[in-house]
Amino acid sequence: MQHTRQQNNESILQQLETDGFSYLDNFCEPALTTQLLSVSREITADIKRTLGKRQIGVGSRAGYREIVQRSPGRWDVPITPEQFSVDHTRMPWWPLITAVLGENAEHAFSGVVTSEPGSDEQFWHIDSPHETVEHASAHAINLFVALTDIPMLMGPTEFACGSHRLTNHLFNPALAVDQLLYQHTNTSPAMLKTAPEQATPVRHSSAVSAGSCLIFDDRIMHRGLANQTSKTRHLAYFSYKRQGYLPYTHFESTRSLFKS
């Protein structure tokens, strides 16, 4: 399956349904991108100062409510829309979110993922598991905003095309849900094949420019690639869920940096 850049909302939604992800090129006004970047830098620096020399492992169970290390050198700091000073229902991506999740779609999480210079690629993973044996429409959608240009050497996000339909552990008992969700060395698009003649999902990644977005189904297999540059990569995220869906796999730590 070849992944191509789509231009209008209808074809973006179609691609989200078939490939599980789509690019929204130059989707944010420069002023919005600058604002998200400056808040991200400020809050991340503050939280990392508070973390100080405390070592935390990889994964949300090992982290704090305020910071999670998603893979070595890849830090996730939650930031609310209020802290970003944005009304997320007025963001350019909101019509796409409601088209998939309904008018009563809810904000689930937002924040920034920074990957340090020299940080390695992540293991492949999904963000939340399927809920039913039969394929259902998405229960959660993620929106990434590139806060600076992200050339290939800086490690953009890589996707396994169409894998949101193949990561269903309820349909395919060969899949272990914990290995799909958490950083696990054996997890890869090849494990999603259910028959020898079935093709392995095609991997896709691409350089993105500042202000461009990526929209994807929470169940797609994906990973952040290695940052081989000398600059930190900043990616803001806004995650949304269907009303009533309870996300339980994204931020699992209950401890706070400010109370330990």
Ligand X SMILES: O=C(O)CCC(=O)C(=O)O
Interacting residues toward ligand X by CB under 6 A: 70, 74, 76, 113, 115, 157, 222, 224, 235
Shortest distance (Å) from residue 138 CB to ligand X = 16
C-beta of 98 vs 229, nearer to ligand X:
229
C-beta of 189 vs 224, nearer to ligand X:
224
Count the Cβ atoms, other than its own, within 10 Å of residue 127: 20
Shortest distance (Å) from residue 109 CB to ligand X = 11
| Residue whose token pair is 């290390």 | 69
3-state SS assignment for residue 238: strand
Shortest distance (Å) from residue 207 CB to ligand X = 13
Hey, CA dihedral for 80, 212, 245, 223, is it positive or negative? negative
Residue whose beta carbon is closest to ligand X = 224
Token couple for 23: 């690019």
C-beta of 74 vs 242, nearer to ligand X:
74
| E runs forming strands in the chain | 21-24, 68-71, 74-78, 106-115, 140-146, 157-160, 203-204, 213-217, 222-224, 233-241
Token couple for 209: 């420019």
| Residue whose token pair is 């996707």 | 159
What is the Cα–Cα distance from 4 to 241, expressed in whole angstroms?
26
3-state SS assignment for residue 256: coil
What is the Cα–Cα distance from 101 to 107, expressed in whole angstroms?
11
Token couple for 135: 């394929």
Shortest distance (Å) from residue 210 CB to ligand X = 15
What is the Cα–Cα distance from 259 to 65, expressed in whole angstroms?
11
C-beta of 33 vs 115, nearer to ligand X:
115
Going by C-alpha positions, the residue among 164, 9, 8, 6 that lies closest to residue 99 is 9
φ, ψ of residue 36 in degrees (nearest 5): -65, -40
Shortest distance (Å) from residue 223 CB to ligand X = 6
Shortest distance (Å) from residue 57 CB to ligand X = 14
| Residue whose token pair is 């998200």 | 36
C-beta of 19 vs 76, nearer to ligand X:
76
C-beta of 84 vs 218, nearer to ligand X:
218
Shortest distance (Å) from residue 224 CB to ligand X = 2
C-beta of 76 vs 217, nearer to ligand X:
76
